Amino acid sequence: MFYVQRDARGLLMRVEAVAFTEMDQTLTADDQEVQAWFANQTVETSLLQLQQSDLDMIRVLDDLIQVLMSKGVIRITDLPPAAQSKLMNRTQAREALGGLSRLINDEEAGVI
């Protein structure tokens, strides 16, 4: 049994396994709306995790490119013009914030 709250249009806003003050209905676990709710919640959670992972990977790639350039393995001119422009913009923004060292948290030190 699940306890649910609906919005003004009758759509599920909240589904809980235990009763809550704002609930206005109960539905069984095999109800299609309940199953769709939990499937949607799983998808949304996965998308948020993937989005955060993308942001983390951008940071890793940015740092990796900077290290490769500082060691002379690649040059900025080896990259396509659009990538050069994006990297230059990020580099300028990071330098304005105090460079790489101020952006790395203490627990991230030594990751790369």
Distance CA 77, CA 72 (A): 12
Report CA-CA distances (Å) from 79 to 66, 86, 87, 88, 111: 13, 11, 10, 12, 25
Residue 6 has a pLDDT of 92
Place of tokens 């919640």: 41
pTM, two decimals, is 0.50
Domain boundaries, the chain: 53-108
Q: How many helices (H) and strands (E) does the chain have?
A: 3, 3
d(CA 23, CA 15): 9
For residue 108, what pLDDT is reported? 54
43-75, pLDDT tens digit by residue?
A: 888 888 999 999 889 889 988 998 999 999 999
- Please tell me the predicted confidence (pLDDT) of residue 94: 81
Distance CA 40, CA 13 (A): 12
pLDDT in tens, 77-99: 999 999 999 999 988 888 888 75
